[in-house]
Amino acid sequence: MKTMFHEYKNLKLKIMSKKTMLTILAVAAISFTAMSQKLVTSKSNIKFHSHTAAEDIDANNTKAVGTIDTKTGEVVYSVPMQAFEFEKALMQKHYNSPKFLDTKQFPKAKLTGKITNLSKIDFSKDGTYNVTVKGEMDMHGVKNPIEEQATITVKDGKVSTNTKFKIVLADYKVAFEKGKPSTNIAKEVEVTVNAEYITKS
Amino acid sequence: MNTTTKKRLKIIALLALTGIVIAAGVIIYLFNMPHRDVQAAAADYSINAEEIVTEYLKDALVANEKYLDAEGESKILAVNGVISEITEDYNGDKVVLLKSNNMQAGVSCTFTPETNVQTANLIVGDQVIIKGVIRSGASYDEDLEMYEHVIMEKSSIQ
């Protein structure tokens, strides 16, 4: 009788330890998912603005895809370059052409970076956070280091970002040698990015 | 000055004037050249969503050579596929994703303020043919850690 009771107790212990194991596994799995939590945007607008005495040129692109990893601070943007739309058809043709951004050869631009002051941001709390993103931009087949300021806004659990920075076209080997475009396009172009994020499902 | 010289000068002046008018006309035309009307144009390729995604995932360079244009006037496609998602982009234009469950990436089609209304009665699971201009192909991006869809704009239902 005693041994039977002993065995029963043993069995109970075994079952319990199995349960504990499962709980530990479940908790680990949940925290692992939380660790790699990514925010995704396909609702964004990227604007190029060029200002010269001759004229102002704007182009907009709403087709970029981007992610922010809230645990590591990694920021990624992939931009389909042919989706930039200009007011004038001729400008759009110039922009796409091999003389300028050569979008057939280089259909996507990519920004990869890291938020350097990630600890300042509480993604679960409403607020506006000023951040610095340090990384690299790959455009027209040329990679350059970047360090830009951006704003992350958390409102009602929704995350959006906003940034405005300048790029020097010559840094990306984009330059018109002569003719009208060389005088009408600024050497430095202002880029504005607005994006609304959702949690990756 | 005799009459023949006068006549010659007149003709030269007239020719110069005609030249200037033509040149000005060409410049004005080029400057105000309208965008291509994708909806009015015929499709260059009729293709299944799965086919074009497979082409891109197999060899993006070959696919870009086939579908993209150096001046951005890339191929107009009529893509046949099953709707997996209907969303809106930053401008509020409708975005219909053609993607079956077995596909790793789909074809994302953005409509225009004029054609948005065509999506009103569409639901997930519908099979449709959407015409639009291709902007970029499908690929796996290891930084995003996800597949990017084929992107089409200026879309309309066929």
Q: How far apart are CA A26 and CA B37, in angstroms?
A: 55
Residue that wins the pLDDT comparison between A37 and B72:
B72
Residue that wins the pLDDT comparison between A33 and B49:
B49
Q: How far is CA B28 from the centre of its chain?
A: 24
Q: Specify whether the CB–CB gap between B154 and B116 falls below 8 A.
A: no
Lowest mean pLDDT among A160-164, B7-11, B30-34: B30-34
Angle, CA of B14, B16 and B17, to the nearest 5°:
65
Chain A residues closer than 8 Å to B30 by CB: 90
The mean pLDDT of B11-22, rounded to a whole number, is 93
Using an 8 Å CB-CB cutoff, list residues of chain A that contact chain B. 38, 40, 42-45, 62-63, 65-67, 74, 76, 78, 80-83, 88-90, 92-93, 95-98, 102-104, 107-108, 110, 112, 194-196, 200
Chain A residues closer than 8 Å to B59 by CB: none
pLDDT at A33: 47
Closest approach of chain A CAs to the CA of B90, in angstroms?
5
Amino acid at A164: K
DSSP B71: T
Strand stretches in A89-181, DSSP E: 108-115, 127-139, 142-155, 158-168
pLDDT at B2: 79
- Integer CA distances (angstroms), B120 to B70, B125, B132, in order: 34, 14, 18
pLDDT tens digits, A92-136? 999 999 989 999 999 999 999 999 999 999 998 999 999 999 999
pLDDT at B128 > cutoff 50: yes
Chain A residues closer than 8 Å to B91 by CB: 45, 62
pLDDT at A32 > cutoff 70: no
Interchain CB distance below 8 Å, B70 and A90: no
pLDDT at B27: 84
Q: Return the residue in B96, B99, B144 with the most chain A beta carbons within 10 A, the one to mutate for interface testing.
A: B144
pLDDT at B17 > cutoff 80: yes
pLDDT at A185: 82
Q: Return the residue in A35, A42, A71, A102 with the most chain B beta carbons within 10 A, the one to mutate for interface testing.
A: A42
Chain A residues closer than 8 Å to B135 by CB: 63, 80, 82-83
A41 conformational bin, left if phi > 0, alpha if psi -120 to 50, beta if neither: beta
The mean pLDDT of A8-17, rounded to a whole number, is 60
For strand A127-139 and strand A56-61, is the pairing parallel, antiparallel, or unpaired? unpaired
Tell me the pLDDT of chain A averaged across its residues.
86
Chain B residues closer than 8 Å to A96 by CB: 69-72
Q: How far apart are CA B132 and CA A150, in angstroms?
A: 34
Interchain CB distance below 8 Å, B64 and A107: yes
Task: Identify the bridge partners of residue B88 per DSSP, sorted by sequence position.
Answer: B94
Confidence band of A66 (pLDDT split at 50, 70, 90): very high
Using an 8 Å CB-CB cutoff, list residues of chain B that contact chain A. 30-36, 64, 68-74, 87-91, 93, 95, 108, 110, 135-137, 141, 143-146, 148, 151, 153
pLDDT at A199 > cutoff 50: yes
Q: Which CATH superfamily is domain A37-199 in?
A: Lipid/polyisoprenoid-binding, YceI-like (2.40.128.110)
Interchain CB distance below 8 Å, B141 and A76: yes
Closest approach of chain B CAs to the CA of A83, in angstroms?
6
Closest CA to B131 of B77, B57, B55, B51: B77
What would you measure as the largest C-alpha separation in chain B, in angstroms?
87
pLDDT at A34: 47
pTM for the model stands at 0.83
Q: Specify whether the CB–CB gap between A56 and A49 falls below 8 A.
A: yes
The mean pLDDT of A38-67, rounded to a whole number, is 93
pLDDT tens digits, B137-147? 999 999 999 99
Chain B residues closer than 8 Å to A40 by CB: 146
pLDDT at A75 > cutoff 70: yes
Q: How far apart are CA B138 and CA B106, in angstroms?
A: 8
pLDDT at A13: 56
Interchain CB distance below 8 Å, B74 and A97: no
pLDDT at B79: 97
- Integer CA distances (angstroms), A87 to A9, A45, A58, A90, A174, in order: 80, 16, 7, 9, 21
Fold of B45-157: OB fold (Dihydrolipoamide Acetyltransferase, E2P) (2.40.50)
Tell me the pLDDT of chain B averaged across its residues.
94
Q: H-helix or E-strand containing A86?
A: strand A85-86
Q: Specify whether the CB–CB gap between A162 and A153 falls below 8 A.
A: yes
pLDDT tens digits, A139-190? 999 999 999 999 999 999 899 999 999 999 989 998 766 666 677 888 889 9
Tell me how many residue pairs between chain A and chain B have CB atoms under 8 A apart.
97
B84 burial level (CB within 10 Å; 0-12, 13-18, 19+)? middle
Closest approach of chain A CAs to the CA of B17, in angstroms?
23
pLDDT at A18: 65
